[in-house]
C-alpha cells in the first residue's frame, strides 16, 4: 500500500524531513524561495498533508486544489494569519501551528531590538564599517537608558510575558494592555494593567505582541504615534500590518517618536518607502524564531501533528478545533 503523501512548501531542518520520511512519501519545494499561489495550488494536488509557511496563503482555492483527502495543513510558525480558517473548517481540514517553542527566541530578539535601538547599534556599526570612525567622541551615538524605564507590552501572551521576564533584569517598570487582565502576572512582575491611551502615553519602550486580526490591523497608526512620548521607542516582532508602516516612517522622520526596532513589515519583503533610509530604526528580516534549536522544535511539532492526524489521532496543537468536533474520528 502506498504511503500518504506530504508536501513541504520550503526546506525546513533536515531532521524534520527525515522524521516525516519514516512515515510518508515526502516532497519538498527544491527552491529556497516562497511558492507563488499558483505553484502552491499545483504542488499540493493530491497530498494528504502539507507543511506550510507564514508566506503561504492557505485559502479555499489551495484546499480545493489539494483535494478532499487532505486532512491537515501544519504551519511552520506560531502565527497563522496566512490561514483562511473558515475555508479549512468548512472542508474539515485541520490547521495547526507551533506555539510554545519559540517564545524564548522571539522574546530574545524583541529585547535585542529594544537594546539595539536604544543604543543605536545599527547606525554606529554602519559608521565603523564604513571607515568613518575617527576615535572616541563625547557626543557620538548618544542613546537612551533602558534600566528602570517603563516597558509597555501590548498583548500579554506567552511572548509578551517572556519579554517582561527579560525586562526584569533591567528593573524596568511594566505596564500592559490586553483584552484580559492577568492578576498573577501583575503580582509576579509588579505590573500595571492600563488602557491603550495610557499605554501609549506612558511607555518609554512599547513592544507589540498582539496577533494580527482585523481589530489589530494598524493598532499603531499616525494618531497612536502622536500619543507616544517623543523619546519613546516602538518595537514590533509580531506581524507587520499591526503597524501602519507609512505612518511610522513619517513619525520617525519627523521625530514624533525617538526610534523603532522592527522584525516584521507590512508587505514583506518590501519595506515602506523611506524606511531603510532612516537611521533611527533597526531593521531585521523576520528572524525572531531563527535559532537552530527553535526551528528544529517548530518542525518537530509540525511533523508530530501530521503523524497524529494521518493516524486518526488529535494533533497536539490546533487552531480550528471545531474540525476535531466535526469529524467522526476517535479523537
The set of catalytic residues is 239, 268, 286
Cα–Cα separations (whole angstroms), residue 144 to 44, 54, 141: 50, 34, 10
Q: Which of 79, 122, 299, 315 binds ligand DGY (CB under 6 A)?
A: 79
| Residues 304 to 323 in contact with ligand DGY, rule: CB under 6 A | none
Q: Would you say 92 or 291 has its CB closer to ligand DGY?
A: 291
- How many C-beta atoms surround the C-beta of residue 134 within 10 A? 7
**What is the Cα gyration radius of the chain?**
22
Query: What is d(CA 168, CA 147) in angstroms, rounded to the nearest whole number?
Result: 9
For position 78 contacting ligand DGY by CB under 6 A, the verdict is yes
Query: What is d(CA 267, CA 239) in angstroms, rounded to the nearest whole number?
Result: 10
Query: What is d(CA 300, CA 148) in angstroms, rounded to the nearest whole number?
Result: 39
Q: Would you say 12 or 199 has its CB closer to ligand DGY?
A: 12
Q: Which of 73, 77, 109, 146 binds ligand DGY (CB under 6 A)?
A: 77
Question: What is the pattern of x (binds ligand DGY, CB under 6 A) and - over residues 6-45?
Answer: ----------------------------------------
Least CB distance to ligand DGY at residue 263 (A): 8
Query: What is d(CA 193, CA 178) in angstroms, rounded to the nearest whole number?
Result: 8
| Residues 230 to 289 in contact with ligand DGY, rule: CB under 6 A | 288-289
Q: Which of 44, 54, 167, 302 binds ligand DGY (CB under 6 A)?
A: 54
Cis before residue 269, ω within 30 degrees of 0? yes
Is 119 exposed, middle or buried, given 0-12, 13-18 or 19+ CB atoms closer than 10 A?
Answer: middle
Least CB distance to ligand DGY at residue 250 (A): 26
For position 212 contacting ligand DGY by CB under 6 A, the verdict is no
Least CB distance to ligand DGY at residue 47 (A): 22
Region of 73-81, 146-154, 162-170, 267-275 interacting with ligand DGY (CB under 6 A): 73-81
Closest CA relative to residue 70, chosen from 48, 92, 94, 44 = 48
Residues near ligand DGY, by CB under 6 A: 54, 77-79, 102, 288-289
Amino acid at each position: 500500500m502506498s504511503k500518504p503523501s506530504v508536501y513541504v512548501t520550503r526546506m525546513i531542518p533536515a531532521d524534520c524531513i527525515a522524521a516525516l520520511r519514516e512515515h510518508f512519501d515526502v516532497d519538498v519545494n527544491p527552491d529556497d524561495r516562497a511558492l507563488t499561489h499558483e505553484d502552491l495550488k499545483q504542488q499540493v494536488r493530491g497530498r494528504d498533508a502539507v507543511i506550510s509557511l507564514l508566506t503561504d496563503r492557505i485559502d479555499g482555492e489551495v484546499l480545493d486544489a489539494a483535494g478532499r483527502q487532505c486532512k491537515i495543513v501544519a504551519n511552520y510558525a506560531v502565527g497563522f494569519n496566512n490561514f483562511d480558517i473558515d475555508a479549512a473548517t468548512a472542508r474539515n481540514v485541520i490547521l495547526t501551528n507551533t506555539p510554545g517553542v519559540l517564545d524564548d527566541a522571539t522574546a530574545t530578539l524583541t529585547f535585542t531590538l529594544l537594546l539595539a535601538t536604544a543604543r543605536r547599534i545599527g547606525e554606529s556599526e554602519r559608521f565603523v564599517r564604513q571607515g568613518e570612525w575617527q576615535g572616541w567622541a563625547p557626543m557620538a551615538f548618544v542613546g537612551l537608558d533602558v534600566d528602570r524605564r517603563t516597558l509597555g507590552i501590548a498583548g500579554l501572551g506567552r511572548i509578551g510575558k517572556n519579554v517582561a521576564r527579560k525586562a526584569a533584569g533591567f528593573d524596568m517598570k511594566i505596564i500592559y494592555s490586553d483584552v484580559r487582565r492577568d492578576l498573577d502576572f501583575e503580582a509576579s512582575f509588579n505590573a500595571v494593567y492600563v488602557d491603550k491611551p495610557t499605554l501609549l502615553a506612558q511607555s518609554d519602550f512599547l513592544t507589540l505582541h498582539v496577533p494580527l486580526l482585523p481589530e489589530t490591523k494598524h493598532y499603531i497608526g499616525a494618531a497612536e504615534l502622536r500619543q507616544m512620548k517623543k523619546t519613546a521607542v516602538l518595537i514590533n516582532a509580531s506581524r507587520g500590518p499591526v503597524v501602519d508602516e507609512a505612518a511610522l516612517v513619517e513619525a520617525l522622520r519627523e521625530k514624533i517618536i525617538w526610534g523603532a526596532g522592527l522584525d516584521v513589515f507590512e508587505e514583506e519583503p518590501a519595506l515602506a518607502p523611506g524606511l531603510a533610509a532612516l537611521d533611527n530604526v533597526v531593521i531585521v528580516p523576520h528572524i525572531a524564531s531563527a535559532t537552530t534549536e527553535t526551528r528544529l522544535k517548530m518542525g518537530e511539532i509540525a511533523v508530530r501533528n501530521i503523524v497524529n492526524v494521518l493516524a486518526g489521532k488529535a494533533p497536539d496543537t490546533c487552531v480550528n478545533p471545531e474540525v476535531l468536533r466535526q469529524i467522526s474520528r476517535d479523537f
